Amino acid sequence: MSAVEPSDSTISGRGIFYDGATSARHDVVVEVAPHTLRVLGGNGAVLAQWPYDQLEPLSAPDNVLRLGRSGSAVLARLEIVDPQLAAVIDERSIPIDRTGRTERRLRTRVILWTLAATASLILVGVIGVPLIASELTPLIPYALERKLGAAVDSQIRLNLDARRSGAAFECGSAEKEQPGRAAFDKLMQQMQSAAGLPLPLTATVVRKQDANAITLPGGHIYVFQGLIKQARTPDELAGVIAHEVGHVAHRDGTRTIMQGAGLSLLFGLVLGDFVGGGAVVLAAKTLLRTRYSREVEAAADAYGVNLMARIGGDQRALAAILSRIAGSTHGGPKILSDHPETRDRVAAIERMASGPPSRPLLDEAQWSALKSICADQ
Closest by Cα among 213, 205, 278 to 240: 213
Contact 177, 375 (CB under 8 A): yes
Report the alpha-carbon distance of residue 121 to residue 180 in Å, rounded.
Answer: 51
State the pLDDT at residue 242.
97
* 156 alpha carbon, distance to own chain's centre: 20
Lowest model confidence (mean pLDDT) among 63-67, 162-166, 181-185: 162-166
319 band by pLDDT with thresholds 50, 70 and 90: very high
> Is the model more confident about 307 or about 93?
307
Output DSSP code: residue 18. Answer: E
Domains of the chain (ranges plus CATH)?
11-99 (2.30.29.30), 140-371 (no CATH)
State the pLDDT at residue 119.
59
Report the alpha-carbon distance of residue 91 to residue 234 in Å, rounded.
Answer: 84
> Is the model more confident about 105 or about 273?
105
pLDDT in tens, 231-268: 999 999 999 999 999 999 999 988 887 776 655 555 55
Per-residue pLDDT averaged across 305-323, rounded? 95
The angle at the Cα of 315, spanning 370 to 218, to the nearest 5 degrees, equals 65
Lowest model confidence (mean pLDDT) among 71-85, 95-109, 227-241: 95-109
355 band by pLDDT with thresholds 50, 70 and 90: confident
- The pLDDT mean for the chain works out to 82
11-18 vs 26-32, strand pairing mode: antiparallel
The angle at the Cα of 213, spanning 160 to 302, to the nearest 5 degrees, equals 155
Report the alpha-carbon distance of residue 93 to residue 53 in Å, rounded.
Answer: 6
Concatenate the DSSP letters of all residues of 323-363 into one string: HH--S---SS--TT--STHHHHHHHHHHHH--S--SS-SS-
Lowest model confidence (mean pLDDT) among 106-115, 306-315, 360-369: 106-115
pLDDT in tens, 105-132: 667 777 777 766 665 555 444 445 555 6
Contact 219, 192 (CB under 8 A): no
Instruction: Using DSSP, state whether 255 is helix, strand or coil.
Output: helix
Report the alpha-carbon distance of residue 219 to residue 247 in Å, rounded.
Answer: 9
Instruction: Using DSSP, state whether 221 is helix, strand or coil.
Output: strand
Report the alpha-carbon distance of residue 90 to residue 67 in Å, rounded.
Answer: 11
State the pLDDT at residue 312.
96
Per-residue pLDDT averaged across 5-24, rounded? 78
Element (H, E) at 141: none
Q: What percent of the chain has pLDDT over 70?
A: 77
pLDDT in tens, 282-299: 666 667 776 788 899 999
